[in-house]
Amino acid sequence: MRIEKRIAGVRAFVQAARREGKSVGLVPTMGALHEGHEALMRRSCGDNDATVVSVFVNPTQFGPQEDFAAYPRDLEQDLRRAQRLGVELVFAPDVAEMYPEGASTTVTVAGVSEGLCGHFRPGHFTGVATVVAKLLSIVQPDRAYFGEKDYQQLQVIRRMVTDLAMPVHIVPVPTVRGADGLAMSSRNAYLSPAERRAAPRLYQALQQGAKVAVGGGTGGAAVAAARAVLDAEPLIRVQYLVAVDPQTLQDKSERGRPLVLAAAVYLGKTRLIDNITINGETK
Q: Which of 281, 283, 246, 282 is nearest to 262 (CA)?
A: 246
Q: How far apart are CA 271 and CA 4, in angstroms?
A: 32
Non-local CB neighbours of 193 within 8 Å, separated by 6+ positions: none
Known catalytic residue at 37:
yes
- How many residues does the structure list for the chain? 283
Non-local CB neighbours of 191 within 8 Å, separated by 6+ positions: 199, 267, 268, 270
Non-local CB neighbours of 209 within 8 Å, separated by 6+ positions: 222, 223, 225, 226, 243, 261, 276
Q: How far apart are CA 270 and CA 267, in angstroms?
A: 5
Print burial letters for 174-197: b (CB count within 10 Å at least 16), e (below 16): ebbbeeebbbbbbbbebbeeebbe
Q: Which of 204, 175, 221 is nearest to 265 (CA)?
A: 204
Q: How far apart are CA 140 and CA 26, in angstroms?
A: 9
Q: Pick the catalytic residue: 37, 119, 124, 169? A: 37
Q: How far apart are CA 252 and CA 208, in angstroms?
A: 17
Q: How far apart are CA 99 and CA 202, in angstroms?
A: 36
Q: How far apart are CA 158 and CA 177, in angstroms?
A: 23
Q: How far apart are CA 73 and CA 129, in angstroms?
A: 22
The catalytic residue positions are 37
